[in-house]
Amino acid sequence: MLREKDTTIKYMFRETNDITPEIVRELGLEAILFDLDNTTVKDATLSTIPGAISWIKSLKEAGIKVAIVTNTPHIRAYWFSKTFGVKFHAFAKKPLPFGILRMSRKLGVEVSKIGMVGDQVFTDVAAANRCGAVPLLVDPVENKWFWKNHYKKNRIKEKPIRDAFLKEHGYYGDK
């Protein structure tokens, strides 16, 4: 059962590429973990979003540790880990925090210094909040989803949370 504090958005961005190395440093983070579907890749495809590879490269060149934490199957996560040149944890079972905690140990970074980038409040944001990582919510890259019924219900439920956050705080860097 999710609690209100699990779904608290800390920072919101229009897209993954808006999270620059400078912003990561500004937030006091040493590592970025990211989701795959609708965050860095198009849902249920092997297509990265424009700029995803260069975004990851820019983070790595700035000395920021980067890895994938996703609920997607192992073979798909493995394929993208090779594409992006990063470590991964598949079948993370977010909103449970164990994938983030495991990657924290693997990377040797304190969990409070990790940003979890994802497009879903009830999985990515909740998993980050449950373990003390910093949730970095992005707008989904597509408005259509492979698992349509599952996503549609969640998107409807999370819309008021997103809207309230944007009304009060706006996107990071807009104010």
DSSP string, 22-37: HHHHHTT-SEEEE--B
- pLDDT over 90 at 74, yes or no: yes
State how far the Cα of 17 lies from the Cα of 62, in Å rounded to an integer: 15
148 — pLDDT class (breaks 50, 70, 90): low
- pLDDT over 70 at 149, yes or no: no
Could you read off the pLDDT of 76-107 as tens digits, one per residue? 999 999 999 999 999 999 999 999 999 999 99
* pTM of the model as a whole: 0.92
Task: Find the mean pLDDT for residues 42-56.
Answer: 90
- pLDDT over 60 at 143, yes or no: no
Walk me through the domains of the chain, giving residue ranges and CATH numbers: 4-168 (3.40.50.1000)
